[in-house]
Chains A and B, each alone.
Chain A
């Protein structure tokens, strides 16, 4: 019996490690892509706004407001990433539950 439980626990442990690697690999890749796109968008906006200020289409006050608005938008994007991390964690937890169920079912059979 002790060896059965040891084997079962080892199966679950290995499964959880594999599940964690798979679950968070994609998330980390998404974070990297999001960070790059935030930087590129910010760079593009600043360049365009500077030209619009030079042309007299935007005032310096407008520019300051837009830059602060961009900062607020980044805060909102960070909240999306924070929420996405929680979602990924919930998916991982569900995966752990499924793994435990299937491992135990295979031992009981």
Chain B
């Protein structure tokens, strides 16, 4: 390559870099804290669900504590940029009008207590929902 061609190439290079600047990430990076929290919350939530064999009113201390931790985690996730998918997953999981953890808790509250087979089947779904959240997080780019 001739020396006189270098300025033109540098201009071309700068032009391309400007184009590259538009290539901003479309989703948040991997977060180790999120992975740890989801794993920990999964255990707590399944533990609460196990208690649905008992009367709801006798378990309010335990349920309030876990629900508060879930809300704290949700608030943390809200602070992460471009985190729509994880937030939407948590919305579905916690929504009392849906049929995962939030819906289960409302049903327990309304019915007083729930059957063991139903609890165990519902735990499989809720557990799998937590696994999906971790699965997405683990796929994210580690910086």
List A residues at the B interface (Cβ < 8 Å).
1, 4-5, 8, 45, 48-49, 52, 57-59, 62, 65-66, 68-73, 75-77, 79-80, 82-84, 86-87, 89-91, 93-94, 96-97, 100, 104, 107-109
Asked if A76 and B5 make an inter-chain contact with CB atoms under 8 angstroms apart, the answer reads no
User: Would you list the 6 A-B pairs with minimal beta carbon distance, nearest first?
Assistant: A83-B85, A69-B99, A68-B99, A86-B27, A57-B117, A93-B23
A1 with B121, Cβ < 8 A, contacts A87-B27, A100-B16 known: no
Residues of chain B lying within 8 A (CB to CB) of residue A69: 99-100, 103-104, 122, 125-126
User: Does B33 reach chain A (CB closer than 8 Å)?
Assistant: no
Asked if A66 and B121 make an inter-chain contact with CB atoms under 8 angstroms apart, the answer reads yes
Classify the interface of chain A: helix, strand, loop or mixed: helix
Report B1-58 residues with CB < 8 Å from chain A CB.
Answer: 1-2, 5-6, 8-9, 12-13, 16, 20, 23, 25-27
Asked if B99 and A65 make an inter-chain contact with CB atoms under 8 angstroms apart, the answer reads yes
Least CB distance, A67 to chain B, in whole angstroms? 8
Residues of chain B lying within 8 A (CB to CB) of residue A57: 115, 117
Question: What number of B residues sit within 8 Å (CB to CB) of A?
Answer: 43
Asked if A76 and B93 make an inter-chain contact with CB atoms under 8 angstroms apart, the answer reads yes
Could you write out 19 A-B pairs with CB less than 8 Å apart?
A1-B9, A5-B9, A8-B12, A52-B121, A57-B115, A57-B117, A62-B117, A62-B118, A65-B107, A66-B121, A68-B98, A76-B129, A79-B88, A79-B92, A80-B139, A86-B26, A86-B85, A87-B140, A90-B141
Given A79-B132, A91-B141, 14 extra CB contacts under 8 A:
A5-B9, A58-B117, A66-B99, A66-B121, A76-B100, A77-B132, A79-B136, A80-B132, A80-B135, A83-B86, A86-B85, A87-B140, A104-B16, A107-B1
